[in-house]
Structure 1
Amino acid sequence: MNTLAGPQNVESAKEGANRWSALLAKLSVDDLTDHFLNRVLRVPGYDILPLPSSEIRRTGAASFAALIRGLHQGNEGSSGRAERLAIATHVGVSRARAGIPIESLMTAIRLDFSILWGELTSIADDADAGLLVRHTDRVWDMVDSYASQTQTTYMAERERMHNEESSVRQGYVAALFGEMRPPAEMLSHIADELRIAETAPLCVALAIGKEMAGLRVVVASAAQRDAEIFTHHLGDGLVAFWPCDERPGSAVQEAASQISNLRLGLLKAVQGIADLPDAARLARELAHLLTPEDSEALTMPVAWARIARLRLAASGSPITADVDAALARCGVGERARLIEGVRVYLSSGSIAASAEALFCHRNTLMNRLRRFADVTGVDVTVPQQAARLVVAWA
């Protein structure tokens, strides 16, 4: 049958509480802090003194004092929790700003338990064994709670730092594409802030419409591997640029390979950040030249003829009006065969490869090319004359 605690149990509990308070009173914050410093300065991340030793000592002493006050039975009110939270907040913020790795910080904080517990066991008597066992969880829970609060604050501060840095860096990226080009001195500063050489060869991609989603996915995947690809919304498109990196297997090289498989405009080896605005405009032009037949990025080696055709057309200069008029005098069947033969030949410049693609004898193809020259006056075996058709039919 259960009964209320008798006088002897009450007296025993009171004696235990008094003995626990007596043990805590014997703890020296200065000695605990000295032990902590001796050990924490050997923890990777702390061994190069990222903070003044006076700061580490000050916060170490404050945390031990707060933990000891909290361990006194009946002294765990809201003020005690608020005190430890204030210390945890300061430690989390200052260590995040100092660049101490989170693993090192957690190792340092959990030293508090081993040092505190080691000191308690050294000053306790054999008769205190049961008392220590009863308080083990309490000591650990308090240290662990302090560690969790510090970790939460640290991670929040790191996120804040990342957002601040991203915002500043995004501002520099935006300045590169502003209406007014940054002066040379500003360009040099921006390059330093973005951690790229001012004249480093850059790759520039621009996606429009629904293709922007694919580009964002590649950029995010690269960031997970610590490879930074800079992005900026420019008019109707998303422009991305990064230092060229051809090292096989590098995160940037793999991202570049993935981007080349997207339907967007792509320029390689742009010479430095000063040329980025012009490169972005040209990349946009390439993106707008994509056709349903294009399944990957459009580059200048592939699209130069399309651009030339559009610009010549915009200038009002007819490119092949004479050729079209001459071909119109041929019968429909002959005209189709001549155009097919010339197009296939222009794609490779090889009689043998073109004849194979057309499933005809090479002499048959050569006869078609000669006939085309007779009709139009354009000999496609002469590069200068063939260039006109390459542009017109791009």
Structure 2
Amino acid sequence: MDTTTSEIRPITPQAHALSFLTHIDERRSTLVGRIVEAILRNEPVYRDPELQYDLSDIVDQNLKEIIKELRGGPPSLSPARRAGRTKAENGIPMASLLHAYRLAGITLLHEIDEVTQSTGETDAAMAATAKLWKVLDRFSTAAVEAYREVIDESERRSEQARRVHLLALLSGMAPHPTDSLRILGLPETGWYAALASSLGGDGDDPEPRYTSAQEFAVIVWAQDVGMHIGLAGASTLEKLKAGLAAVTATTVAPTGASHPFGNVSDLPRAANQARSALRCLTPGEHRLSLYGERPIELTLVSNPDPVRNLITEVLGGVLSLDSSGANALLDTLDAWVEAGGSTGAAAAALHCHRNTVLYRMQRIAQLTGRRISHPAESAELVIALRALRLRGHE
């Protein structure tokens, strides 16, 4: 190892006065040995012969950059990040990682004291000592961040772990929500929306993929009972809305979404909103349903028992017909509603004569006892029809 000082060039006037740091750098190999000895003595986990890294090299590279920063030079945090990644990959606890940095700082302080006793740089040594703990804090923070990245990536690769973290968040049972968000790759602070998507009858559908939406928001999925459940997150409300708009434009399966929210405590409520929004879609509707955009359907899916009675009470006469007769009347009523009550537009949509539509609407009035010309009775027909269309989700 080259321990000369040619590679360390002080760049501030104050740095020229810190000659004791030059002496310390020249003795760096000895100091590295003392730090490694202190770590091995105080942290037994580092003594494992199976560890796949060179502790002395990691200490030397970190010490080199710490001294460089104390002298006023531009440091590199790469050695600190390497230390964090290496310790995580070898299963060394984070607490041991942080303790190693503290031991290195204490050993370096003793070295400064020894050297400055001979150089007389007492004031400079005090200033360097005060700065040392700030430098060590930056290095240890960088190491911890790299450590967490390794751990998070490992957990992210585990589908089971991802499912557990996501379902725990959406049920309000996550012990540390911000940790779960980070592990899932979601922003720890920002805006979110819960999602729910239909699952096929065989329960083996792949989770929805919305590549274009990922440009604006992170979307993660897990399989829940009878559906895919997901969570979208972005740093700002605008980005989240852009992500949901991209989902709307490229929907590959019936999907429900909650209102956007910014507080993780709202996750369970948002999950329920997403499930309700999904149930507001009729079978075959492959689109995104936002919670609350269909108030009638939302009311219907929230009260299943009264809805069954409503269907029987209002449309029972129509449903008593054979399937072809009932479907013809129901499709006509559907077309008439979609056409805004226009008989001509409904006839065009059904590819039949206008008089056919008039006859069928009269037949519906006879069988249901509801007149389409009466606002309240017409509303009952519309609501009962929408309730019937939603029955495919049951």
TM-score w.r.t. length of structure 1:
0.48
